[in-house]
Amino acid sequence: MFSIQVRPRLSALVITGALLVSGLSVSRSARAADGALLEATVDVPREHAVNVDLTFQQATITTVETHNDPKADDIKEAREKDPTDHTMLLIRFRYKNADYTKHRVKLRAVFLDDAGAVVGDAGRTGTLDAGKMDDTITFPMRVKTLDWPRATKLKVIASFLK
């Protein structure tokens, strides 16, 4: 049997690898406590926020909404004058965190058309502040204006990080 000397900054990944090499295993619940990867596919939030409800411990990503969507006139103008025109959307996630600790989360939003092709993709890492019952994380996404009407689904991926 060999011993493991743990330094304060030694990562959990190195410790897990050392335990697996030594024949010991780390339980699934111990690994799951470190974070989570959650996904949801929802309708595109064009005029109203759409429920997402992705929960990790006591933190929940509740809804997603878009701002600055291309309007019918913008799409018509792009079709007639500049087919390569792009629009900067704002993707806004609302969350609540009843936990006493903050959570780091990496959010990714992927707009898909009916065939499953990607229309737009963006993301960012943010912090879900402890005790907040209604707060937001917002990030921009550049979308080709003529592709926006084809978007029918939004895939949301939330990676909760430790």
Shared domain check, 14 and 46: no
Domain limits at 98?
Answer: 35-161
pTM of the model: 0.77
47 contacts: CB under 8 Å, gap ≥ 6 = none
CA gap 136, 159 in Å, rounded:
16
103 near 126, Cβ under 8 Å? no
CATH code assigned at 49: 2.60.40.10
Residue 33: per-residue pLDDT: 53
Alpha-carbon Rg of the chain, whole angstroms?
A: 20
Shared domain check, 42 and 25: no
What are the angstrom distances between the C-alpha of 63 and each of 76, 95, 126? 30, 7, 16
Residue 8: per-residue pLDDT: 47
Shared domain check, 126 and 60: yes
Residue 162: per-residue pLDDT: 75
Shared domain check, 75 and 2: no
CA angle 133, 100, 31 (to 5 degrees): 110
Shared domain check, 74 and 21: no
Closest CA to 129 of 59, 62, 55, 39: 59
SS3 15: helix
Q: pLDDT tens digits for 142-161?
A: 999 999 999 999 999 999 98
Shared domain check, 44 and 25: no
How many structural domains compose the chain? 2
Per-residue confidence in pLDDT tens, the chain, 162 aa: 444 444 444 444 444 444 444 444 333 333 445 789 999 999 999 989 999 999 999 999 999 999 999 999 999 999 999 999 999 999 999 999 999 999 999 999 999 999 999 999 999 999 999 999 999 999 999 999 999 999 999 999 999 987
Shared domain check, 51 and 63: yes
Shared domain check, 74 and 136: yes
Shared domain check, 7 and 24: yes
Closest CA to 109 of 128, 95, 123, 93: 123
Shared domain check, 90 and 23: no
Residue 28: per-residue pLDDT: 36
